[in-house]
Amino acid sequence: MLIAITRQISPRFNECELTHLDRQPIDLDLARAQHHQYEAALRELGCEVISLPPEPDLPDSVFVEDVALVFDEAAVITRPGADSRKPEAAAVARALSPYRALYTVEAPGTLDGGDVLRVGKTVYIGLSSRSNRSAVEQTRQILAPYDYTVQGVEVTGCLHLKSAVTQVSEDTLLINPAWVDRSLFGPVKFIEVDEREPGAANAVWLADGVIYPAHYPHTQRRLTDAGLRLKIVDATEVAKAEGAVTCCSLIFQA
Active site residues: 160, 247
Task: Give first-to-last CA distance, the chain, whole Å.
Answer: 6
Which of 44, 89, 50 is CA-nearest to residue 209? 44
Q: In what order do the strands lie in the sheet with 2-7?
A: 47-52, 2-7, 250-253
The C-alpha atoms of residue 207 and residue 17 are separated, in whole angstroms, by: 32
Classify 155 as helix, strand or coil.
Answer: coil
Classify 210 as helix, strand or coil.
Answer: strand
The C-alpha atoms of residue 104 and residue 99 are separated, in whole angstroms, by: 15
Cβ neighbours, 10 Å, residue 126 = 29
Which of 250, 247, 244, 206 is CA-nearest to residue 228? 206
Class of residue 38 by CB neighbours under 10 A (exposed 0-12, middle 13-18, buried 19+): buried
